[in-house]
A and B are shown apart, each in its own frame.
Chain A
Amino acid sequence: MAYGDKVIDHYENPRNVGNFGTTGDVKARKDIGVGLVGAPECGDVMQLQIKVDDSGVIEDAKFKCFGCGSAIASSSLATEWLKGKTVDEGLTIKNTQIVEELSLPPVKIHCSVLAEDAIRAAISDYKEKNGVEEAKSQHAHA
């Protein structure tokens, strides 16, 4: 399968790879939200971590991804887009925007869905740790 230029760019130079500490460390930290979505048997797992400052702005984001090139690119792009946004603004990122930005073909749309899920999971983890109530969001994937 031929990949788009942007997918290849993110794949070859992934942005913001890493984490803010071991699984135990980040669990204990209230300023970090962690999202871990996907499953090894489906061939993709994304881990997204956000670091939120006192004013609720995502000052840093890191990812790790087990998955195809499009999954890696989608999560790399997600970290770029999250940085500088407030947690609530982060929730406005939609998988369709990722599809468009990376020109993902139909068979790779699930990668963008997974990235959106990872964003939501990380933000909801942060909110939960900080006692922010959030109504279970109903979102439909494209």
Chain B
Amino acid sequence: MAVKTPIYLDHAATTPCDSRVVEAMLPYFTDTFGNPGSRNHSFGWASEDAVETARRQCAELIGADRKEIIFTSGATESNNLAIKGAAAMYAKAPAGRSGRGHIITCTIEHKATLDPCKRLQKEGFDVTYLEPGSDGIVTAAMIEDAMREDTILVSIMWANNEIGTINEVREIGKLCHDKGVIFHTDGTQWVGKMPTDVALDNVDLMSFSGHKMYGPKGVGALYVRRRRPRVRLVPISEGGGQERGFRSGTLNVTGIVGLGKACELAKQEMDTDAARLSGLRKRLEDRITAALDTVQVNGHADKRLPHLTNISFGFVEGESLMMACKDIAMSSGSACTSASLEPSYVLKGLGVGDDLAHSSLRISLGRWTTEQEVDFAAEQIISSVKKLRDLSPLYDMHNEGIDITKIEWQAH
């Protein structure tokens, strides 16, 4: 059977909504439309019931109590609430002073973690940005070395969005608990894909998002631990006091119902999905690495998400590679398309050379990706790289034995 193009291999950016999710959401647009905050009539009660069911579904996916789930507009908001909210609550000195406390994060975190941390720096907090090893992993030992007397918060993502590497969350969490430091993890790429147990994994705060796990966009959650320790946060949005005061604003009932259903499905299907997708990813990587020289799979070989791969292709440029692979939707490791000439800060953070960081593809598979699609993608990537290498002066030099890193290039 012919493969239908374009093929979507960018599931780390967003996923299609599962039709079962959409079906679960539909009645809440029209029939059951009440405001869950309306405590004095049945319209409100029905919506509240739906929200509480979703809260339980979310909690069950991650081993939490349902009272520990705060609904938000997505992982960016969750990260902001967790990081800014915890910093404000556990600050060592009042606002307006310096020396308000120390925060540890990592250079290859998502911008939704880095930018709140930068904001806090301006507000008197100290932030340490750890550099991961060349395998992309942040270890508990790295955190321990960076800990200070005044450390109040550690924020380390569970799995990296560009390279899929998995950090030592459980060990970092244990360390934080031993030292009495709050631990936040951005679980956006992890939750719903991999087994999560906030109790065993020693997580205090965890962000996750609906649209990364076949749920709708515009909804996410923050897990906030209630026991040992009971984590408190200063809210960012204030008003009606919804979500136990952590996040005021009328609840996005349809989105929340969708997120809950997506969590329920993820719990049922993640094992099957992960096993199947890791097989498909291996097939993809094997084909590409067998057909092409000077190819590098970025990040740790094993400790990474099963559905994602990030591959650098020497001597070809990322944007033209994407242009050549016109039937495949994927993400370039290079940010050229956003009009900036900077290669990926994540890959640079791993010590991947500028030349390779400019020519990387992030390919992420999903629940409905087929073997035929993977084979088609492998073929198109291989033939595109070959075509562009025929055009590449750098590949000629490489084949002539010239070391391109030794040439004095005139950057302009």
Contact = CB atoms under 8 A, between A and B. Distances in A.
Contacts of A24: 400
B402 A1 contact: no
Interface string B117-141: 0000000000000000000000000
Interface residues of A, number: 34
Contact of B412 (A22, A40, A42, A107): A42
A42 B411 contact: yes
Contact of B410 (A1, A39, A43): A39
B343 interface: yes
Contacts of A66: 315-317, 391-395
B323 A68 contact: yes
A71 B321 CA distance: 13
A22 B404 CA distance: 15
Given A40-B354, A40-B404, A66-B394, A72 B409 contact: no
Interface string A88-114: 000000000000000000010010011
B400 A22 contact: yes
Contact of A40 (B336, B339, B391, B409): B409
B320 interface: yes
Given A23-B402, A65-B393, A66-B393, A41 B323 contact: no
Residue among B318, B337, B391, B411 having the largest count of chain A Cβ atoms under 10 Å: B391
Nearest to A69: B323
A135 B334 CA distance: 39
Interface string B306-324: 0000000001111110010
Given A41-B358, A43-B343, A117-B412, A68 B336 contact: yes
Contacts of A43: 317-319, 334, 336, 341, 343, 358
Residue among A11, A44, A67, A113 having the largest count of chain B Cβ atoms under 10 Å: A67
Interface in A32-88: 36-47, 64-69, 71-72
Nearest to B408: A39
B389 to A, nearest CB: 9
A17 B393 contact: no
A69 B315 CA distance: 15
A38 B67 CA distance: 57
Interface residues of B, number: 32
Contacts of A114: 412
Given A3-B323, A64-B393, A66-B317, A39 B409 contact: yes
Interface string B380-411: 00000000001111111100101010000111
A107 B404 contact: no
Contacts of B404: 40
Contact of B409 (A11, A14, A45, A47): A45
A72 B358 CA distance: 16
Contact of B396 (A38, A39, A64, A117): A64
B355 interface: yes
Contacts of A44: 317
Given A17-B391, A69-B319, A41 B355 contact: yes
B412 A113 contact: yes
A118 to B, nearest CB: 10
Interface in A9-24: 11, 14, 17, 19, 22-24
Contacts of B315: 66
Contacts of A36: 393
A107 to B, nearest CB: 4
B400 A65 contact: no
Contacts of B354: 40-41
A41 B409 contact: yes
B312 to A, nearest CB: 12
Contact of B320 (A40, A41, A72): A72
30 contacts: A11-B320, A11-B323, A14-B391, A19-B396, A36-B393, A37-B412, A38-B409, A38-B410, A38-B411, A38-B412, A39-B409, A39-B412, A40-B394, A41-B411, A43-B318, A45-B394, A45-B409, A64-B392, A65-B392, A65-B393, A66-B315, A66-B316, A66-B391, A66-B392, A66-B394, A67-B317, A67-B320, A69-B319, A69-B320, A71-B320
